[in-house]
C-alpha cells in the first residue's frame, strides 16, 4: 500500500506539472498575438487539460487499487483548483495589484494614481464595469445599460451557494 501511494502521488505531481507547463506554454506562445486569449479559449483549454490529466492519472494507475485511483484523481482535481485559484488571484486580485503598483514606485503613489491604474487604465469604475460584463457573459446576471441585475437562476444558485459557504466558514467580512 505505501508503494501504491508513492506511485500515485508521483503520477499526480507529474500530471499537475504537465498541466501547468502546457497551459503556461500556450499562453506564452500566444502572447505575441495582438489580441489576448479570450476567457472562453482559456477555459476550454484548461477544461481539456483537466479532463485529459484526470484520464491520464487514471490510466497510469492501472495496477493500483480502486480506492487509491479515486484518491489520486481527486488529489489531481484539487491541485487543478489550487492552480486556477492562484491564477485568479494573480490576474484579478485587488490587493496584489496594489502591491505591484507600489513595488515599482519607491516614493509611493497617490490614491488617485492607484485608482486610475485599475481595469487596464480605465480606473475603478471601469474595473467594476468589466466585472459586471464578465458576470453577464457567464449568464449569472442581467446587464442592461446602467442597470445590473436581477440575477439569473444560475447566478442566484451561485450566490446562495457562496453565501452558505461563507457562513459555514465564518467569513463575515470578505472582499
5-56 pLDDT tens trace: 888 888 888 888 888 888 778 777 776 766 655 667 777 877 888 888 888 8
Q: What pTM was computed for the model?
A: 0.58
Domain ranges of the chain: 2-92, 138-175
pLDDT band of residue 154 (cuts 50, 70, 90) is very high
Per-residue pLDDT for 93 more than 60? Answer: yes
Element (H, E) at 107: none
Does residue 144 carry a pLDDT above 80?
yes
- Mean pLDDT in the chain? 79
Q: Are 84 and 16 in contact (CB under 8 A)?
A: no
Is residue 122's pLDDT more than 70?
no
Question: At a CB cut-off of 8 Å and minimum separation 6, what does 100 contact?
Answer: none
Tell me the DSSP string of 66-103: HHHHHHHHHHHHHHHHHHHHHHHHHHH-HHHHHHHHHH
d(CA 99, CA 94): 9
Amino acid at each position: 500500500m505505501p508503494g501504491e501511494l508513492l506511485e500515485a502521488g508521483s503520477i499526480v505531481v507529474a500530471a499537475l506539472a504537465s498541466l501547468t507547463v502546457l497551459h503556461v506554454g500556450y499562453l506564452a506562445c500566444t502572447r505575441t498575438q495582438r489580441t489576448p486569449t479570450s476567457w472562453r479559449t482559456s477555459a476550454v483549454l484548461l477544461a481539456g487539460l483537466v479532463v485529459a490529466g484526470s484520464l491520464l492519472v487514471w490510466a497510469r494507475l492501472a495496477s493500483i487499487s480502486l480506492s487509491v485511483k479515486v484518491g489520486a484523481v481527486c488529489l489531481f482535481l484539487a491541485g487543478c483548483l489550487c492552480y486556477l485559484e492562484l491564477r485568479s488571484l494573480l490576474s484579478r486580485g485587488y490587493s496584489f495589484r496594489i502591491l505591484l503598483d507600489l513595488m515599482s514606485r519607491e516614493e509611493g503613489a497617490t490614491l488617485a494614481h492607484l485608482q486610475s491604474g485599475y481595469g487596464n487604465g480605465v480606473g475603478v469604475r471601469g474595473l467594476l464595469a468589466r466585472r459586471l460584463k464578465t458576470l453577464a457573459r457567464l449568464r449569472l446576471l442581467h446587464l442592461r445599460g446602467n442597470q445590473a441585475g436581477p440575477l439569473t437562476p444560475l447566478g442566484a444558485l451561485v450566490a446562495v451557494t457562496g453565501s452558505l459557504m461563507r457562513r459555514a466558514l465564518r467569513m463575515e467580512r470578505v472582499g
